[in-house]
Structure 1
Amino acid sequence: MVLGFIGCFGAIMQNKCVLVCMCSYAIFMLLIVILEIAAISIAASFRGKITTEMKSFLIQRINSKYQGRVDTNEPFSLGLDFAQVYFQCCGIDSYADFNRSSEWNRTGEQGIMKIPPACCKLKDKDAFFKHQKYEPINWNCPYNPTAINSNMSKPCWKSIEDHLKSRIGVIIGIAAFILVSEILCVVVAGCIIRSMPKYFG
């Protein structure tokens, strides 16, 4: 944006030095457009592999980092708990993903927990997001989870995938608008440069 403004100012003032910024801007924007198209093509071609690798990475992080405490400050644990509460889900592929979590102390006040507390249905999700206030509809949920008091039967990967699919039209629309805007910027910059050949002859 700064380069574009300087380039337009240079065009108005007919200043050669400042117009060089317009050339830089056009080249820079063209590179961004090429990289974005390449990234989209690669993502589309390797979608299955990306999904497999991402799931594998998340499960590895659960095994090595997930603490299973709703009052945690550990970034991965907190992020996963927020996702589980927001999407009302449990685990990546299933609640069994937590079986090998080395950092999760399953012992609680009522015995051994079968699922993390964040997999339980809450009375107020907003209170959890704002203040990490945890209030499940049934305090016995982590020890005796059911389809009524928990989200144990709803994996997070599918929930997030369904969420994105339901908004795919909006996502594609925004992406297309940004891409078209960038292409127009390159075209306008090129037109300004061509309109003043005496400075680049």
Structure 2
Amino acid sequence: MQAALAGYGLGLSLILAIGAQNAFVLRQGLLRRHVLAVVLTCAVSDAVLIVAGVAGMGRLSEAWPWFGPAMRLGGAAFLLWYGGRALLSAWRGGAAMDAGTAAQSLAAALGTCLALTWLNPHVYLDTVVLLGAVSAQYDSRAAFAAGAVTASFSFFFALGYGARALAPLFARPGAWRLLDLVVGLTMWAIAMSLLLG
């Protein structure tokens, strides 16, 4: 039980910070578009990475030295593009982005979600490397992994479906414009941190 609680606590603390993936889940939750598919995609992706880390896949970067830099550049490029879209929407007005995202197909939403998840090197550092390393301290690594996976599922479901409580605030286009601005600047800041090492 101690290992599971430790896994839950660490897993939750690692995904609480606002980032590309969380901002996208929040947006989908506010729009009530493809919420179940998006939160499941995020949580299952996290689960795969957590299990890989706990199973010892953290040595991937040692085996393939090019993997880390390639992921960093690919992730930065995607975040610059996605952040640019959000900033353009903020400049045009919140209602423009609202309409564009609302019309997004399930395939497009899942494609964006997968890119924000799997092209983000921080996801690998947090889930595969850090959680994998910390899990080695516990006798029951499986319980630690189960706790971290549970944290991921509970967080993404709470974020996706809890966003509905913020819907009255986002009934105004100005709120969407502010959200787009914050998301765009966050994406560009993360991209810059990836490019600068």
Query: Would the TM-score normalized by the shorter structure come out above 0.5?
Result: no
Higher relative contact order (CA 8 A, sep 6+): 2
Higher helix share: 2
Q: TM-score if structure 2 supplies the norm length?
A: 0.30
